[in-house]
A and B are shown apart, each in its own frame.
Chain A
């Protein structure tokens, strides 16, 4: 064995990766054959060596599955070493050879009863790892025995095996009652068994967030705390993590748990320490701050955190990321420990940067002198990245600790004197921030800064310098010269610098109008005429117009007092911080992201929150609604166990627990900057003699043109258009074609007729016409400079359309229409451009239909069906919001199988059910069913109980979410009751509204 292993080594050492794989792929069948012979040898030693060789080949990725039967044959042996090797092999290949794996079952079952506990445990461990469905049923009996085995080693292995089995077949585990046995194991006498039972239960509970599996009550907590003292370190981690999920009833219980967890802080294993810190940080929230114990606890937390910093750099980094969170939440813990965060010259750069960040967070008046001295040293080091951060940190200190600002500024000036290029640039960037925090205080340094103008080559530094010159233009004698020097290479600058230069020169002009007129004109024309950048052009035009219409207003706008920048920058948002504190010691705390952001299939992921002492003591855990709305919930099919109707009778019809708050309507879009210019622009457009006439956002980069001479739109002659439409035989289905290619807007004269055609084509295939809400005014003319838009949404043969009437109530022609949607709940987006082919003359109205797709970007809106739209024409951009009926999103294939419906209904937890009343509806159940079907709400079954008709209905949204409904109609009673169940309960409100509108119209 040694010989061939040596050979293997040598081959690997001499060859590169390429030759390695070559060496292995070219192995002949002969080798397999040889191994086969050896495996069937009579000599135990030879067999063992052969199995070892097989496993070696397996490790390097060679396929040795052909040897499966031969290896399995070696299984029946009393040599433990050989047995272990065979089991190792089995685990790897059982999945690809399920039929063969069955062959091994008998041996497994036999081994589970072996006298040697090692073999019993080995068998049960391996069986659980073989993910072959067929094997699971054989596993149950041996597992049951092993869970009650007299040997703790076997029991602890069996406990983990339950988790394995649950992953393969959850139902089986529940049916067999293993979960109860597992719960009993929490009270086992052996701490290792307790630890594994807790780990297994935690994992199972995670996949069933609503189950009460790990029922944490004071008794179990007590048991866990007792086990904590005896368990291995790894077991302690499971137990502590489990404890962290518990919410104590009151502060006394919190305190007593804290007291019992505190000794873990001095454990040598950092994972234990961090898990203990997590428990303490969480339970500390419940303690009143005036309690003596609270102070004691705070003191106890510091040393273990400091200790973590003496570990290897990897652990240090992870620890620092956690400390960063803790410091943001409770800076008092480490306020006296500033020195441990001073960097060592041999720290890896990522540790240095993290330490720097924490230093700033801990900086206060008390220690600022020490911190500044340190930072100044760092700023002269060699590592460029680190030096830059250090210089930035000095600036952050100045902003954070007001008393130190002066010293910081002088430190920065010292650093500028070194003339090291990147130090100077960083210093200028942070000095700009200091000016923004303490305006009019440190202008004396400007002269020094100006000396270094030449050496600035990074956009951020140039932009900062230009900002300073512009802001303090009145105190800099040669400000115009300085800015002019930048202007020479205007087009080579980055956008950031260009924008800053534009603003600075306008500021300069407003401050010293007499001598800088030429300069401002130069920059305005550079920005508006010679640039392709829309931001720059827009800003240029705004300034231009402001300056030309009302210089006083311009002064007010441009030279307005700026808000001070806030003290602490880049703090983590408080709710996220709270959540992250609950995840101390996990990956979330390293990424500084909630687990839902990086754990796939966040089925069990729950947002954790801290519970504070002021609260009721209930844990505030809410299911992750954000991801539920997007994720599809595939219905699970379970075999039918009888009559559907009978089963439905047993459905849990408990009244809903919550219906959610009523949606707040019409959250209008902010017009933001546009308002600023409102009146002035109007008057400008009205009066053409005003110089310079500026159309906003025309797509022509040419010189400004009067608005009515806008470039002509792509032109189709009406006859051509008519021919296309008329010639298309199947109008309804025609919409299935790529929408971009469709003529989607029509000219006024032919629009009426075509609309009729559409209705016929679209409605033809359905038993009952789809309900189309009447058009309502979305954008009133007075808000949009004479453009009035009214519209509605239609779904025809699977295509969603937005139908609009555009009415020009202004005095001038409108053209150049375009449309855009904001991100919305279901990803609605225009499938093609808004095609309005001819300009709309005054008092003309035009119909336009815009096909929509549902593949756009998604963002949850409030209310859910809210859609924010921007429409542009040659005059301006207008914003409005409208609500679409959710039935637009119901798919034609939304009819669920009966069995699937039944299973899904049961599967969706009751919390997700909402109940509503529909009042004053005088349809009978059949009529209602027909009517609803027109909107793709399908009735799956109907049942009559005591004069009450129950309709079971399903619908499917475009993003794959199923909504199940039960509609109860009582003859003679105009009030319907509807229960909705959905995995994303937020849609229920919308769906209900939709029911109401459809049924009442």
Chain B
């Protein structure tokens, strides 16, 4: 049960305030109370649930804004957090963007949404399909007309290579605009995976988890059904026997409730009638076993040289398939306390490395790291009074990277069919990406 709802800017300004249930006797000064509390919170305190007297605040941060709900009863923080996250994405769907300005300009729309979405503190329906029947207000898009959008039209209006790739901003626009403003009817399917890996100092894979989701963002008002075909050899659960070849296996799957699964068991097809806007159609995870080798291996040599310096010779190997590459790779290696300065040798010129004294670590950045290659670096760190036990303080190395056009689980979208067959140039985009969630190489 939600008593009050408000959206605050990062500076604490009140953008939207609704006493959603009329039960809240406390006035809108709760906003200030909340803002003071959240900004004064020490780092190790969980900010998730805070209380002020008998008023409990639950909040999330999305788009730089605070989305806050209060409750006085012993209600479920899960539903509230889930609700706030949903609300944020709903607002994003409707306003096209999730910024302070977008919220401010569309306050009437957001109030109207809130009215439909919560009644007396009870969450009603948050599906944009249901809501579209009720919402009257038009979204105001904060994005001014920009020449930038013309950039994908080639010289003299010719189609260029560029126009075959949707601009990354293509997916952020209000869902309603497609119905009146004659926007392009498009559908975006994203397969996003996050991997967390721990590799021990002996090179043994200690832990490997993959969390993935398929997101659909739909701007197709008259699309009644879509079918997403996944790999045919897709199995769920640990016990199932694996065939040969490129079978894809996951441990757990959960689906959006709009997904019909009658064709899933036989031919791995998800059927759904997509709502306008963004929804997560399927979530899955895989633990302990990766279908292929982990993407990065580290071969470190760490010693004390005769001059009392710390010598770190690091070889990093990328085990991705040769055609793939990791981008924006950033490795961070903690160094002993008291490190002063560093000299380095890197195996290629586009890499860079830096000793960050504040975080006591070396940041090694590699913009692009193709599969099947190996990079190395030699760091000489000046540590006054280096003792053998300080060598223990080195490591573990943490990697942050992105693997475009690749899913580590191997999940692929075989096809994407829309029915009825869309008239005109319906655009269908499929995107794959894997992020590192927590990739740790122990030394």
Contact = CB atoms under 8 A, between A and B. Distances in A.
A125 B209 contact: no
A583 B73 CA distance: 12
Interface stretch (A230-238, A253-261, A470-478, A711-719): A230-238
Interface stretch (B219-227, B386-394, B420-428): B386-394
Interface in A44-96: 52, 55-56, 59-61, 80-81, 84-85, 88, 91-92
Contacts of A591: 49
A274 interface: yes
A549 to B, nearest CB: 50
Q: Which of B47, B74, B437 has the most CB of A within 10 A?
A: B74
A2 B126 contact: no
A638 B112 CA distance: 41
A17 B53 CA distance: 26
B48 A600 contact: no
Contacts of A233: 257
B304 interface: no
A268 interface: yes
Contacts of A598: 51, 54, 56, 74
Contacts of B125: 192, 232, 234
Interface string B248-277: 000111111100000000000000000000
A234 B48 contact: no
Interface of A is mostly: helix
B290 to A, nearest CB: 14
Nearest to B49: A590
A55 B285 contact: no
B393 A163 contact: no
Contacts of B1: 203
B104 A5 contact: yes
Nearest to A91: B22
Contacts of A39: none
B56 A587 contact: yes
Interface stretch (A306-314, A702-710, A872-880): A306-314
Contacts of B120: 128-129, 160-161, 163-164
A40 to B, nearest CB: 20
A585 B76 contact: yes
Contacts of B119: 125, 157, 160, 196
A317 B78 CA distance: 10
Contacts of A346: 398, 437-438
B68 to A, nearest CB: 12
B376 interface: no
Contacts of A157: 119
A345 B438 contact: yes
Contacts of A339: 207, 287-288
B254 A318 contact: no
A916 B183 CA distance: 82
A889 B203 CA distance: 75
A52 B138 CA distance: 13
Nearest to A354: B46
Nearest to A585: B76
A343 B168 CA distance: 33
Contacts of A269: 82
A908 B111 CA distance: 43
Interface string B187-230: 00000001010101000000101010000000000000000000
B359 A382 contact: yes
A80 B136 contact: yes
A751 interface: no
A327 B81 CA distance: 23
Sorting the interface of chain A by its residue count into under 10, 10 to 19, 20 to 34 or 35 or more gives: 35 or more
Interface in B1-60: 1, 9, 11-17, 19, 22-23, 28, 43-49, 51, 53-54, 56, 60
10 contacts: A81-B136, A84-B136, A307-B285, A315-B81, A346-B438, A418-B389, A418-B392, A585-B76, A600-B54, A605-B74
Interface of B: 1, 9, 11-17, 19, 22-23, 28, 43-49, 51, 53-54, 56, 60, 71-79, 81-83, 85, 100-101, 104-105, 107-108, 111-112, 115, 119-120, 122-127, 133-134, 136-137, 140, 194, 196, 198, 200, 207, 209, 211, 251-257, 280, 283, 285, 287-288, 334, 337, 359-361, 387, 389-390, 392-393, 395-396, 398, 437-438, 440, 442
Given A55-B111, A314-B81, 19 more contacts: A84-B112, A85-B108, A125-B119, A241-B76, A266-B255, A306-B252, A342-B207, A344-B196, A344-B440, A346-B398, A380-B393, A380-B395, A382-B360, A418-B390, A587-B74, A587-B76, A598-B51, A599-B54, A599-B72
Interface of A: 1-2, 5-6, 8-9, 12, 16-17, 20, 52, 55-56, 59-61, 80-81, 84-85, 88, 91-92, 118, 125, 128-129, 131, 156-157, 160-161, 163-164, 167, 192, 196, 199, 203, 232-234, 237-238, 241, 266-271, 273-275, 303, 306-307, 310, 312, 314-315, 317-319, 339-340, 342, 344-350, 353, 373, 377, 380-382, 385, 414, 417-420, 583, 585-588, 590-591, 595, 598-600, 605
